[in-house]
Amino acid sequence: MDDQDDPSERDLLDESSLGLHVELLPGKSLSQLEEPPAVEEADWPRFRRLTFFSVQAGLCPLVPVPFVEEQAVSRIRRRMMRELGESRSLGLSEDEVRLLAGSDERPGVFAGTARAVRRGVGKILGSVVKTFLLREGVERAVETFVEGYLLLYAAGQPQALRPAGRTPERVRAVRASVVSALGKVDVTPIRTVIGRSFQSSFGRLSEAAAKLGAAAASEEAPLQEDEEVVDQLAGALWGDQEHFESLERVFEECLARQRPV
């Protein structure tokens, strides 16, 4: 028999062989050795990149320049949504990227002023500032991680972000569902892992934050990566599939209530 006729040799991701477009869930891919294809954990590159952006967002509260944090977080989340969207062939417009990144939802100048005042108080109190900044950084990283993970998940949902039939209403429904899921799901496992990583790497993260602050005004400025921190954190987060499945279920419930059209 010709090799091309052997089902075991077919590329099961080939749309011409399946007759449909296969979407991979974050942390998963399709085995090409079984039919029907079995789902296996494998999507490491996207998961690691998601972790990278989460670390970058977590650096923002450590930036030593007041009022830069919100701008830097917004820029990082837009870049994350744009890049992860491209990895799923979503073809997101810039308006959709901004909406999914929540660029218009972030605290404004008064919130920024309040945060600057709290930092000043923290400096006066000495060691309190480290605890405060770590807590703020961990929360930023957790939020960013969950938002990016759910973007990857929503990319495969028929009534969510798939290019075919996607409408502004659907995109808004996805964003609202992500925000709602963040308020409902228990993110303690993710927060604990990220918190331990940030605590043990505080000195290195502080140095990286100073560099991030210098580039915060530029949308295209390269983001510096501490490969060791990202690799260790991604590896620690990778195995918690049960928690991710719970997050997916909560998101699906929130999206169903949104009734996107």
Three-state secondary-structure class, residue 29: strand
Task: Report pLDDT for 234.
Answer: 94
Residue 104 lies in a domain: yes
Residue 28 lies in a domain: no
Model pLDDT for residues 240-261, shown as the tens digit of each residue: 788 899 999 999 999 999 864 5
Place of tokens 């923002």: 60
Model pLDDT for residues 141-162, shown as the tens digit of each residue: 999 999 999 999 999 888 889 8
Count the neighbouring beta carbons within 10 Å of the beta carbon of residue 128. 13
- pLDDT at residue 111 greater than cutoff 80: no
Task: Report pLDDT for 211.
Answer: 79
- pLDDT at residue 10 greater than cutoff 90: no
Q: What is the mean pLDDT of the chain?
A: 77
Q: What is the mean pLDDT of residues 91-99?
A: 95
Residue 135 lies in a domain: yes
Residue 21 lies in a domain: no
Strands (E), 5-127: 29-30, 39-40
Residue 203 lies in a domain: yes
**What are the tokens at 67?**
């009022």
Model pLDDT for residues 219-234, shown as the tens digit of each residue: 566 677 888 999 999 9
Report DSSP state, residue 3.
G
Model pLDDT for residues 173-201, shown as the tens digit of each residue: 999 999 999 999 999 999 999 999 999 98
Task: Report pLDDT for 219.
Answer: 58
Task: Report pLDDT for 255.
Answer: 94
Task: Report pLDDT for 208.
Answer: 85
Q: What is the mean pLDDT of residues 114-124?
A: 48
**What are the tokens at 232?**
């260790």
Residue 79 lies in a domain: yes
Residue 177 lies in a domain: yes
| Residues of the domain holding 170 | 44-216+225-258
What contacts 24+ positions apart, CB below 8 Å, involve 33-40? 33/8, 35/7, 35/8, 37/12
Task: Report pLDDT for 157.
Answer: 84
Q: What is the mean pLDDT of residues 54-80?
A: 85
Domain tally, the chain: 1
231 and 91 Cβ atoms separated by less than 8 Å: no
CA–CA separation, 86 vs 46, rounded Å?
A: 11
Residue 141 lies in a domain: yes
Comparing 127 with 110, the larger pLDDT belongs to 127
Task: Report pLDDT for 204.
Answer: 87
Share of the chain above pLDDT 90, in %: 45
Q: What is the mean pLDDT of residues 113-126?
A: 47
